[in-house]
Amino acid sequence: MHPDLDKILLTSDEINARVKEIGAEITRDYQGESVLMVGILRGAVVFFSELVKNVDLDVRFDFMVVSSYGSSSVSSGEVRIIKDISQPIEGKNVLIIEDIIDTGNTLKNLKRLLLTRNPKSLKICSLLDKPSRRKVEMEGDYVGFTVPNEFVVGYGLDYNEKYRNLPDIGILKPEIYQ
């Protein structure tokens, strides 16, 4: 275990098993159709790369970088597109791949924006869900795990750009981020 962690919340084995299950769910739900999977960078990159290997469909990739924080540590709720997807989504099945649903502000606004582009369908897949922090109504269509209101890192999730490469998801010691 990394010395900056209080404890391991989810082991890599638990995560990998759940990612396989989610991949099977997506494969079943979109059987016979193609899907554009849009990874939200940077946090979702590890989850995205593992998930797509477990989806047995015609899958296309794209990526976005979005922010709702600006220069503040408190979300403004307004989505700023830093890197947009590189292809039109009209008439396509689109699946947003996110690391965590937290307040819901960013995803709600991103979903609203993408719906204006007339996809055939638009769903959200998130590795983690932290409903105790929700500020707006937002549910994932595919969710790996519900987590407590703790500062979690690893498997793509970071604090100050650190810890993304940890294979497990752990709870960061409070003295590290306070």
Convert the pLDDT of each residue in 92-116 to its tens digit: 999 999 999 999 998 999 999 999 9
pLDDT above 50: residue 73: no
pLDDT above 70: residue 171: yes
- Average pLDDT of the chain is 93
Which one of the listed residues 29, 58, 62, 102 is annotated catalytic?
102
Residue 49 and residue 79 in contact, taking contact as beta carbons nearer than 8 Å: no
Task: Give all domains of the chain, ordered by start, each with its CATH number.
Answer: 12-151 (3.40.50.2020)
Supply the pLDDT for residue 119: 98
* Mean pLDDT, residues 73-89 taken together: 79
* Nearest CA among 148, 115, 156 for reference residue 6: 148
Confidence of residue 176 (pLDDT cuts 50, 70, 90): very high
Q: State how beta strands 58-67 and 80-83 pair.
A: antiparallel
Q: Is 102 a catalytic residue?
A: yes
